[in-house]
Chain A
Amino acid sequence: MSAPVTTAPSAPASAARATAVRRRRTRSLLRGTAITVVALVFALPLVWMVAAAFKTNVQVTDPSVGLWFRPTLDNFRAVIEAGQIVRSMGNSLLVGVISTLLSAVIAVPAAWAVGRFGMHRTGSIVLVARIVPAISLLVPWYYLFAQMGLVGSYTVLVLSHMFVSVPLILWIMIGFFAGLPVELEEAARTDGLSAFGAFWRISLPLAAPGTATASLLAFVFSWNNFMFALVFADESTQTVPVTLFNFISYASTDWGGLMAATTLITVPVVLAAVIGQKYLVAGLTSGASKG
């Protein structure tokens, strides 16, 4: 914390210092209030969603009910018994885990190579992948996969989610590896480890926090992905965003059920945010100061 002496060097004027202290106190009070308001603006809509999930349908559509009511679990019971959301969460979990693992396996070594050997021209391909609209990949892949009869399979979903997660993990990990001291690896090399050994035994373990962050983000983005699943999933491989979307179209009056479903699929994300806050912020902002 940098707290330079803000008061002017006029030492004898203790009255002036008193006003300065008072001013600083008002300022920090104002700042605290502003921060609280900001936090509420971002938190309240989500609180409202969770609250609605515990309301009866009469209460949901009556805005005067507010946040003080007798909660019911009926919405959750109904949504879970209907089954689709549970199946979809299973599908999302499966697709998310497999696509993230495969992406990490191919992207982490590549990021090491780019970060270690300064192959930034090659690395800038990643930027291309981030700029291109996903739908321009979707059209040709749909065109081809449809001819091959693969649309609706888990394979296609996993591959399409890797469009996003491979560049994402590369992006985060290039910066991470570049930040590790190269001397450690070189010392290991002179002690007889092969170059691969130096990566495997030295850099990879050191990069574990970065890999965890990148993988967590990749999983979250896969969990959230709507467009790919909308195109490539069929009824049995449907993932959660598509299920939610279908809820709007077919059951738009069942607000309680809809909110229970959105709450169910948001809970894992919120848990991740609370537990991994520090790492997630680092992952989300990586690349901003390095370009």
Chain B
Amino acid sequence: MPTTEAAPAARTVADPAGDIPAGARRRRTFEQSNRRLKWAMLAPALLFVGLMIVFPLVFTADLSLTDAFGAVNAGKEHIGLRNFADALGDSRRFWPAVERTVVFTVGAVILETVLGLALAMLMRKPFRGMRWVRTVLIIPLLTTPVAIGILWLLILDPTNGIANHLLTGIGLPPQEFLGSVSQSLPTLMLIDVWQWTPMMTLLLLAGLTTLPEEPEEAALMDGASAWQRFRYVIMPMLGPTLATALVLRAVDALKTFDILYATKGPGGGSDFEVETLNVYAYGLTFDYQEYGLAAAVLVLFTLFIVGVVVLLRRRGGRKNA
């Protein structure tokens, strides 16, 4: 080993443009010897993802073109795009489900972003008991969604719940909450806001701690008000974090299932009042065995989510890879 010292040094010096002969050569051999290893390390995970995730997607796409229905081992035939025509022409279940998915996601995510940002700004500077407040914030994120659904069913019970007890206590009329068709979706949005605002807060807090302090101090010196500092100094710097947080949360909100199904049951209630695309596709598959149609709905749903991600990423401006 004559060159013990050279290798680490070469790594730090050899940048993409560098043509330091010895260092570059050594670096190349280092990477060559690693090429086989890196694929070996990656193979099991790639195989799993390919087999368990990519393959099912292809299968779903194929299934959406068939008339698969009923028993899983019954034959199926390719029928072209008829399932898509059926889904897109269905104004009784499909389009209302699209609308609910959009309303739920947009409403919940906007509230979560605004509240999450407010909480993050509130908790930004250290304070006593910070550890405990953070612990309180992560508990809703980690609690079983079904348990959260049950917990709110108890609190919001129209006749025996504490929520109506408190409302009438301050002179407001009692509400039906999850017991009514019109209030179910807004109520579930608020439950989602309760559960997921902490996620926004934590993501934004993580982003805030990485921001440099100088711009804000400079603004302070120049006499900028708290609001001006927030609006014109912090917000632009926080942009990329905010965009990423928004994408993550929007994707998860679009796919919300557990709490809707747990509180309202199959079909999202008697009037399908909380039936989002996810709940609809679930019902088609496992309650009605309409595999072909369900697959078509899922393909549309997946394209929809991908579209939202692309849109948000583009609007989020800067690439933050």
Contacts and interface: CB of A to CB of B under 8 A. Distances in A.
A113 B164 CA distance: 55
Given A133-B302, A136-B301, A183-B12, A46 B151 contact: yes
A226 B145 contact: yes
Given A135-B257, A226-B146, A244-B146, A48 B309 contact: no
Contacts of B215: none
B60 A140 contact: yes
Contacts of B198: 42
B302 A114 contact: no
21 contacts: A48-B151, A52-B154, A64-B165, A122-B42, A131-B309, A133-B278, A133-B298, A136-B299, A137-B60, A141-B56, A167-B49, A199-B41, A223-B144, A226-B258, A258-B150, A266-B143, A269-B142, A280-B142, A285-B205, A289-B240, A291-B319
Interface string A118-141: 011010011011111111111111
Nearest to B195: A42
Given A136-B295, A147-B72, A288-B245, 15 more contacts: A46-B140, A48-B155, A60-B154, A112-B41, A117-B38, A136-B281, A137-B52, A139-B291, A162-B48, A266-B147, A269-B139, A269-B144, A270-B143, A277-B138, A289-B210
Interface of A: 1-2, 4, 6, 31-32, 34-35, 38-39, 41-43, 45-46, 48-49, 52, 60-64, 105-107, 109-110, 112-114, 116-117, 119-120, 122, 125-126, 128-144, 146-147, 159, 162-163, 166-167, 170, 182-183, 186-187, 189-192, 195-196, 199, 220, 223-224, 226-227, 230-231, 240-241, 244-245, 247-249, 255, 258-259, 262, 265-266, 269-270, 272-274, 277, 280-281, 284-285, 287-291
Given A32-B127, A269-B139, A113 B160 contact: no
Nearest to A46: B139
By DSSP majority rule, is chain B's interface helix, strand, loop, or mixed? helix
Most buried by A among B11, B126, B142, B291: B142
B227 interface: no
A137 B164 CA distance: 41
Nearest to B147: A262
Contacts of A187: 7-8
A64 to B, nearest CB: 7
Contact of B161 (A63, A266, A290): A63
Interface stretch (B88-96, B104-112, B117-125): B117-125
Contacts of B225: none
Contact of B57 (A137, A199, A247, A266): A137
Contacts of A42: 136-137, 139-140, 194, 198
Nearest to B26: A190
B251 interface: yes
Contact of B56 (A117, A140, A248): A140
A31 B127 contact: yes
B177 interface: no
B142 A272 contact: yes
Interface of B: 1, 3-4, 7-8, 11-12, 30-31, 33-34, 37-39, 41-42, 44-46, 48-49, 52-57, 59-60, 63, 68, 72-73, 119, 122-123, 125-127, 129, 131-147, 150-155, 157, 160-162, 164-166, 194, 198-199, 202-203, 205-207, 210, 213, 217, 220, 240-241, 244-245, 248, 251, 254-255, 257-258, 261-262, 265, 278, 281-282, 285-286, 291, 294-295, 298-299, 301-302, 305-306, 309, 319-321
B126 A1 contact: yes
Nearest to B305: A131
A257 to B, nearest CB: 11
A132 B194 CA distance: 24
A136 B46 contact: no
Contacts of B301: 133, 136
A136 B203 contact: no
Contact of B30 (A49, A106, A189): A189
Contact of B45 (A48, A170, A196): A170
B199 A284 contact: yes
A33 to B, nearest CB: 11
Given A62-B160, A135-B278, A226-B257, A39 B136 contact: yes
A265 B147 contact: yes
Nearest to B139: A273
A288 B73 contact: no
Given A45-B151, A45-B194, A131-B309, A159 B142 contact: no
B262 to A, nearest CB: 6
Contact of B135 (A31, A244, A277): A277
Contacts of B126: 1
A186 B30 contact: yes
A186 B133 CA distance: 41
B19 to A, nearest CB: 20
Nearest to B304: A133
B72 A288 contact: no
A166 B138 contact: no
Nearest to A112: B41
Given A183-B12, A190-B1, A1 B125 contact: yes
A16 B230 CA distance: 25
Contact of A277 (B38, B134, B248, B255): B134
Closest 6 CB pairs of A and B: A110-B45, A63-B165, A140-B59, A285-B206, A109-B41, A106-B44
